[in-house]
């Protein structure tokens, strides 16, 4: 008996180390690794694993959402949740079991010498225990057992895989589902205001934002940030950034005013829009479908900046997988905004910034360590122009 395992984790260290650990057991073979559930679902088209090991905190879809969606399918694959968040009967651990996880284990420290001795047996046993759940997962979730009792599985067909594709990978909506595309003429005719900065990031963005915000002075222009991150994690993330920065950083609430020296972080699982009242800006928190398979979506933020800020906006797109933000940044560019992209060398993944560059949306490509200086320099020029206009009236 050979148990085929697929690993889903956004940590490159985990993706490198975990297969080596698991394959010390001759009954386990790792058939692949994925950075997030979306990548994993595409991999399932080539080979179906017997067991999936998944982290919880990932950019495009968190592990608990993936677990729920998988267990709603016709023929779910047993999942082991392996995360640093599941300890001491944490809410995440209880939720994972409630959603039908076959095993929930604390992610070990891969950097300690004791790792192999303390964790290898636990990991391998978890995989074998999950494998024994094959065909029984619906029994672990009472609400699902009835819902799918009348569905006949068709082994050897594409039915189960198609169901996984349909349920887990959401349609790739554009920002049109949240707000209309801005009229370029109207956007270009917007009056001057104080500058406002909008930032989008994904994979690798948590550390990139730490460095970027840490380099900003206290009097930097008001800023709004979308970082792809699950619900309930953004508040702690904002608090961490606040401790490490001279600027004030907080998780955005509906109606928050965008002020000098303040950075608002979009809450997980909600879209964030920039709005304008007179010469001031505020944010709107909005529900709605995933846009470019994300919520919050960078495209939504950038489109709102194009519509309401126009030439008063500075856009920054940082490291991240996929193309979220590239279309919205092009709309900002067409509305007169000044846009900056992180360069490939300093990006963990040059997906989002690379796509924005390809779209012709970017005015300057810079290494991470130069972006804060460029933002502040450009913002000072824009502020001087605004102050000049004010004195003329």
User: Annotated catalytic sites, by residue?
Assistant: 202, 228, 324
CA gap 30, 293 in Å, rounded: 27
Instruction: List the Cα angle 230/235/238 in 5-degree steps.
Output: 110
CA 211 from chain centre, in angstroms, equals: 18
Integer CA distances (angstroms), 7 to 30, 34, 80, 86, 234, in order: 8, 6, 10, 17, 25
- State how far the Cα of 237 lies from the Cα of 223, in Å rounded to an integer: 16
- Is residue 19 within 8 Å of 124, Cβ to Cβ? no
C-alpha angle 308/379/225, rounded to 5°?
Answer: 55
CA dihedral 313→318→320→326, nearest 10 degrees, is 40
Residue 225 zone, left/alpha/beta (φ > 0; ψ -120 to 50; rest): beta
C-alpha of 340 from chain center: 20
Q: How many helices (H) and strands (E) does the chain have?
A: 15, 15
Calculate the CA dihedral of residues 389, 390, 391, 392 and round it to 10 degrees.
Answer: 50
**Of 261, 307, 270, 304, nearest in space to 289 by CA:** 270
The token duo for 208 is 């990139």
End-to-end CA distance of the chain: 81
Burial 352-378 (b: 16+ CB within 10 A, else e): bbbbbbebebbeebbebebbbebbbeb
Which residues touch 115 (CB under 8 Å, ≥6 apart)? 21, 108, 109
Contact between residue 322 and residue 60 where contact means Cβ atoms under 8 Å apart: yes
CA 344/CA 341 separation, integer angstroms: 9
CA distance 116 to 14: 13
């Amino acid at each position: 008996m050979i148990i085929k395992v697929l690993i889903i984790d956004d940590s490159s260290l985990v993706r490198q180390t975990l297969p080596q650990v698991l394959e010390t057991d001759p009954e386990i073979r790792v058939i692949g690794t994925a950075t997030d559930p979306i990548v994993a679902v595409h991999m399932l088209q080539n080979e179906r694993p017997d067991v999936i090991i998944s982290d919880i905190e990932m950019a495009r879809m968190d592990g608990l959402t993936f677990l729920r969606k998988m267990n709603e399918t016709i023929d779910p694959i047993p999942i082991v949740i392996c995360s640093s968040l599941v300890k001491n009967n944490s809410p995440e651990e209880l939720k994972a079991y409630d959603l039908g996880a076959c095993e929930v284990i604390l992610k070990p420290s891969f950097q300690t010498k004791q790792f192999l001795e303390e964790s290898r047996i636990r990991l391998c046993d978890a995989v074998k225990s999950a494998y024994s759940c094959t065909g029984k997962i619906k029994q672990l979730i009472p609400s699902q057992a009835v819902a799918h009792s009348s569905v006949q599985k068709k082994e050897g067909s594409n039915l189960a895989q198609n169901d996984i594709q349909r349920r887990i990978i959401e349609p790739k909506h554009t920002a049109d589902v949240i707000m209309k595309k801005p009229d370029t003429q109207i956007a270009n005719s917007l009056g001057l205001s104080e500058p406002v900065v909008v930032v989008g990031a994904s994979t690798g963005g948590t550390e990139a934002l730490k460095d970027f915000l840490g380099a900003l002075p206290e009097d930097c222009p008001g800023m709004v940030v979308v970082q792809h991150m699950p619900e309930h994690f953004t508040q702690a993330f904002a608090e961490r950034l606040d401790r490490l920065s001279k600027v004030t950083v907080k998780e955005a609430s509906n109606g928050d005013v965008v002020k000098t020296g303040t950075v608002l972080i979009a809450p997980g699982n909600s879209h964030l829009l920039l709005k304008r009242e007179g010469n001031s800006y505020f944010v709107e928190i909005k529900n709605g479908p995933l846009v470019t398979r994300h919520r919050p979506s960078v495209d939504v933020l950038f489109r709102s900046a194009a519509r309401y800020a126009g030439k008063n906006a500075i856009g920054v797109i940082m490291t991240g997988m996929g193309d979220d933000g590239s279309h919205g940044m092009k709309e900002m560019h067409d509305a007169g905004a000044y846009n900056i992209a992180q360069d490939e060398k300093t990006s963990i993944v040059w997906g989002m910034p690379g796509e924005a560059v390809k779209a012709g949306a970017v005015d300057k490509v810079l290494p991470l360590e130069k972006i804060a200086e460029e933002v502040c320099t450009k913002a000072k020029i824009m502020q001087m122009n605004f102050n000049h206009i004010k004195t003329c009236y």
